[in-house]
């Protein structure tokens, strides 16, 4: 007899004949933690899933934005030595580069903030330490995003 042979009931020959049949069905086992009408509504959303997905989506976009940024600032046209107020003014005269830099600022800050949130979650064990580190992280993140956005939108090439 082949060892891979199985009977119609799904029970292998080693175990012998099936205990259950159409007339004598196996008992139905309730899945554990099944939601019923009586279970309270979940208090958790899908934040961690959204954050995980955001890291991957923003990551792909950032590869393009940041490597383009590095090419322009550090490689092309004399590298870092050409950068100065006049160079910034020239680039931000174009809405294309304003949108590029704005997208890079927001995506990179949120991507980095979520990364650091994960690091804090991993290594800071005391609840108070976690609270303070995350408070500091979120404050610094909001401040930097707002400051950068304000600078891009209110840039004045004729400032004295």
Partner 1 sequence: MPAGTLYRGREGMWSWVAHRVTGVLIFFFLFVHVLDTALVRVSPQAYDDVVATYKTPIVALLEYGLVAAILFHALNGLRVIAVDFWIKGARYQKQMLWTVVAVWIVLMLGAIYPVLGHAARELFGS
Q: Does 156 engage in binding with partner 1 (CB under 8 A)?
A: yes
The helix (H) or strand (E) run that includes residue 64 is helix 47-70
In the list 115, 135, 139, 142, the residue contacting partner 1 (rule: CB under 8 A) is 115
Report helix, strand or coil for 56: helix
Closest CB 42 distance from partner 1, rounded Å: 25
At which residue do the structure tokens 């923003």 appear?
Answer: 58
Closest CB 159 distance from partner 1, rounded Å: 6
Which listed range, 5-13, 26-34, 42-50, 122-130, lies at the site for partner 1 (CB under 8 A)?
Answer: 122-130
| Residues 6+ positions from 74 with CB-CB distance below 8 Å | 80
Q: Does 72 engage in binding with partner 1 (CB under 8 A)?
A: no
Q: Does 107 engage in binding with partner 1 (CB under 8 A)?
A: no
Q: Does 56 engage in binding with partner 1 (CB under 8 A)?
A: yes
What are the contacts of 154-159 at 24+ separation with CB within 8 A? 155/88, 155/89, 155/92, 157/89, 157/92, 157/93
Report helix, strand or coil for 38: coil
Query: Measured from the CB atom, is 2 or 154 closer to partner 1?
Result: 154
**What is the spatial distance between Cα 65 and Cα 69, in angstroms, rounded to a whole number?**
6
Q: Does 123 engage in binding with partner 1 (CB under 8 A)?
A: yes
**Nearest by Cα to 114 from 45, 152, 59:** 59
Q: Which residues bind partner 1 (CB under 8 A)?
A: 56, 59-60, 62-63, 66-67, 70, 74-75, 78-81, 83-86, 88-89, 105, 108-109, 112-113, 115-116, 119, 122-123, 125, 140, 144, 147-148, 150-151, 154-156, 159-160
């Amino acid at each position: 007899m082949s060892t891979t042979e199985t009977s119609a009931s799904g029970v292998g020959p080693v175990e012998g004949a099936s205990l259950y049949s159409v007339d004598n069905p196996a008992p139905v086992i309730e899945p554990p933690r099944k939601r019923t009408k009586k279970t309270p509504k979940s208090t958790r959303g899908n934040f961690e899933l959204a954050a995980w997905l955001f890291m991957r989506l923003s990551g792909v976009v950032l590869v393009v934005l940041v490597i383009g940024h590095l090419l322009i600032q550090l490689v092309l046209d004399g590298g870092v030595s050409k950068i100065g107020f006049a160079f910034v003014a020239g680039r931000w005269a174009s809405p294309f580069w304003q949108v590029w830099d704005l997208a890079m600022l927001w995506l990179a800050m949120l991507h980095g903030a979520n990364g650091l949130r994960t690091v804090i979650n991993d290594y800071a064990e005391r609840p108070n330490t976690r609270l303070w580190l995350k408070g500091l992280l979120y404050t610094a993140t909001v401040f930097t995003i707002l400051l950068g956005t304000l600078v891009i939108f209110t840039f004045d090439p004729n400032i004295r």
